[in-house]
Amino acid sequence: MKADAVFEGGGVKGIAFIGALRVMEENGYTWERLAGTSAGSIVAALLSAGYSSHELKPIFEELDYLHFLKRSGLGRLPLIGPIYELVMREGVYRADRIELFIEKLLQRKGVRTFGDLPPGKLKVVASDVTDGKMLIFPDDLARYGVEPDDFPVARAVRMSSSIPFFFQPAKLQSAGHVHYIVDGALLSNYPVWLFDVPGTPRWPTIGFRLSDDQDKREATSIKGLFSFSRGLLATMLDAHDRLYVEKAKAVRTIFIHTLGVRTTQFQLSKEIRQQLFESGEAAAHKFLAQWDFEDYVKVFRNTSPKMLV
């Protein structure tokens, strides 16, 4: 069955999406268009290039998240290094290793720029903190004077994944001005509405969302400015998990429990990764047991006889 897919942000918890995708693919779902924020944009980009869940599972199982935490120069100094990077470069770590990682994976499928993908195949959500606006790649690039088809997909994913304060923001030049671009989760962590238009859709949009049991979360120990900043960042990012999802969105959403894993918990054991994967599988099975596209259309979308997507 054809469907569009939208993936929420969630940092290192992205392997949970792969488990859910495995079940959906085994039940005959194919993805027409894809979108994502932050870690969700990584999964969306790789799927748009032609990867399957079967191919992605070993990649995410072996992925060394700590490899992405790169500092250079004075930033390598103990204690003062992170503070220096935060003050001078607006983020503790550089995000170029994320871009390089995605770039290499996309190259295996012959994809570099948005022009290498079918039109409308992929949308990546980021946040322009200079203008205070959401930035949707590649759609919004024209307003920056950038040719959308020439823009690297991996760079868009890197921008969408640049967690504020944690990773240094990316910069986008436009008419002599510098725009600072950060994690899309800042403005829209779960853009399940992205492919919606008035009328009756020809196929569904299915959302993949990470949820959590807040009572199982480990409290952050606040012992100074740095730990306070880390706790503040974790609260900002993980608060999205507790936001209310209206019924029209909830019925087309696969809610995946993430076992108390934090967005920036970069050291994940193989056991935890497997548990997240299995949690994704269980969530997809639960979703399919109650999902009926025709019922969804009748209740929430049947406002016009015209068939649209």
* pLDDT of 307 over the 50 cut: no
Confidence of residue 292 (pLDDT cuts 50, 70, 90): very high
The count of residues in the chain is: 309
Catalytic residue among 38, 160, 211, 279: 38
As a whole number of angstroms, the distance between CA 162 and CA 179 comes to 14
pTM reported for the whole predicted model: 0.85
pLDDT at 214: 44
pLDDT at 230: 58
Catalytic residue among 4, 128, 183, 238: 183
How far lies 212's CA from each of 6, 163, 168, 231, 289, in Å?
Answer: 19, 20, 27, 17, 21
The answer to whether the beta carbons of residues 106 and 154 sit under 8 Å apart is yes
The answer to whether the beta carbons of residues 19 and 259 sit under 8 Å apart is no
2-308 has which CATH code?
3.40.1090.10
The answer to whether the beta carbons of residues 9 and 184 sit under 8 Å apart is yes
The answer to whether the beta carbons of residues 162 and 181 sit under 8 Å apart is yes
Catalytic-residue membership of 183: yes
- Express each pLDDT in 22-77 by its tens digit: 999 999 999 999 999 998 999 999 999 999 999 999 999 998 877 777 655 544 54
Buried b (16+ CB within 10 A) or exposed e, 8-44: bbbbbbbbbbbbbbbbbbeeebebbbbbbbbbbbbbb
The answer to whether the beta carbons of residues 148 and 141 sit under 8 Å apart is yes
As a whole number of angstroms, the distance between CA 140 and CA 124 comes to 10
Residue 256 CB neighbours (<10 A): 27
How far lies 55's CA from each of 58, 98, 205, in Å?
Answer: 7, 19, 23
The answer to whether the beta carbons of residues 134 and 127 sit under 8 Å apart is yes
H helical segments located in 94-198: 96-107, 153-160
The answer to whether the beta carbons of residues 262 and 11 sit under 8 Å apart is yes
C-alpha dihedral, 146 to 138 to 67 to 103, nearest 10°: -80
How far lies 153's CA from each of 99, 169, 193, 269, in Å?
Answer: 9, 17, 21, 29
H helical segments located in the chain: 15-26, 39-48, 53-62, 80-89, 96-107, 153-160, 225-238, 247-250, 270-290, 293-296
* pLDDT of 162 over the 90 cut: no
pLDDT at 237: 56
pLDDT at 211: 83
pLDDT at 94: 74
Q: Among 33-37, 168-172, 284-288, name the one with the lowest average pLDDT.
A: 168-172
As given in the structure block, the two tokens for residue 200 are 């009756």
CA 282 to chain centre: 20
Where along the chain do its domains lie? 2-308
The answer to whether the beta carbons of residues 196 and 244 sit under 8 Å apart is no
